A and B are shown apart, each in its own frame.
Chain A
Amino acid sequence: MCTDAALVMDIKKGNKKAFGKLVERHKKSAFRMALGLVGNKDDAYDISQEAFMRVYRSAKTYDEAQPFLPWFYTIIANLCRTWLQRRTKQDNRMVSIEEASFLLVTEGTPESKLIAKETVARLREALMQLPFTDREIITLQHFRGMAYDEIAALLNVPRGTVMSRLYYARRKLATLMRQSDG
């Protein structure tokens, strides 16, 4: 199987099939990364597509000695940052029901699901109040289930930084959850 870096090198030469392969391979993870950061399905979909278009357009600048995923993730994270900044300026926008349901309860009885739904609603609200870097680290560890070494490679930071960022992000998240509990 072709590596991601080899596919990007083929894209550089104008190979659209290689681009298609890369998209198929990473479309779902790109969407989920963006979803965790912006909390809206439609926007996460658009951001993931825009990220792939940027990969296609800037394949020439890609250094094949570097791993693909951190490069791609940086593109997604930057697009999410821009999207959130724009959204902050239009803050009076209503949050739709569709948008509020980006996190779903996985399992349980109908009764326990009902209780969990309330907790999840508070979690979602707290997550969206976190600063970008805190939400990013929580998304990667809690929702993407990535190991510390993987996160460190993706964000290009030492493992110790991942640990301390997680500590502070969790503390903020726990405080926000407590506050919304009243």
Chain B
Amino acid sequence: MDKDLRKLLAGYVDGELTDEERTAFEKELQSSAESRAELEEFRKLKEVTSMVRYADLPDEVWESYWQSLYRKLERGIGWILLSVGAILLLGFGLYHGLHDLYIAPQVSIWVKICVTALGGGVIFLLVSFVRERLFAYRRDRYREVMK
């Protein structure tokens, strides 16, 4: 069956063809047993799908839909503010803490080296973890798979 005929077949089942298209399709239909069989199959399919409807949600869920959505929006803004504040505070605390530690003459050089190693280790592990996740994501053959 050619490409145009396939298109027409879909439109014919749904009553979406123009008079001209319908006449052309019906003419083709008489000479093509394959088209007739497919047409029959598609009609049965339409019959099956017309027997069903989507499940709905209870009325009370619809009534509280807006409140639920509004709460989520508010919480989203709350989380953003909380995260920004926490990151800024943490950065500020770390900067001052490390600054005081490194300039304090009474703190042993070994403590400074250990703190530097600790900080370096955390950063190193973090970078490695992020890189691994990125690598795994890019190499995931099934990430475009959709059901």
Interface residues of A (CB under 8 A from B): 20, 23-24, 27-28, 31-32, 35-36, 41, 45, 49, 52-53, 56, 81, 84-85, 87-89, 101-108, 116, 119-120, 123, 128-129, 131-132, 138, 141-143, 147-148, 160, 163-164, 166-168, 170-171, 173-174, 177
Contacts and interface: CB of A to CB of B under 8 A. Distances in A.
Interface residues of B, number: 40
B146 A88 contact: yes
A28 B65 CA distance: 10
B54 A104 contact: yes
6 contacts: A36-B54, A49-B65, A104-B52, A120-B48, A164-B3, A170-B13
B131 interface: no
Contact of B9 (A85, A147, A167): A167
B54 A32 contact: yes
Nearest to B21: A163
B81 to A, nearest CB: 15
Contact of B54 (A107, A108, A128, A143): A143
B92 interface: no
B55 A45 contact: no
B66 to A, nearest CB: 6
Contacts of A36: 54
A49 B69 contact: yes
Contacts of A160: 7
B133 to A, nearest CB: 14
B42 A81 contact: no
A84 B146 contact: yes
Contacts of A174: 41-42, 44-45
Contacts, number: 116
A119 B48 contact: yes
Nearest to B3: A164
B40 to A, nearest CB: 10
B51 A120 contact: yes
A49 B43 CA distance: 36
Interface string B109-126: 000000000000000000
Contact of A105 (B13, B51, B73, B142): B51
Q: Which residue, of A45, A108, A163, has the highest number of chain B Cβ atoms within 10 A? A: A163
Interface in B33-73: 38, 41-42, 44-46, 48-55, 57, 61-62, 65-66, 68-69, 72-73
Interface string B135-147: 0000000111111
A27 B11 contact: no
Given A53-B69, A138-B49, A167-B9, 17 more contacts: A23-B66, A85-B146, A87-B147, A103-B54, A103-B55, A104-B53, A106-B51, A108-B51, A116-B51, A119-B48, A143-B49, A143-B54, A148-B16, A166-B14, A174-B41, A174-B42, A174-B44
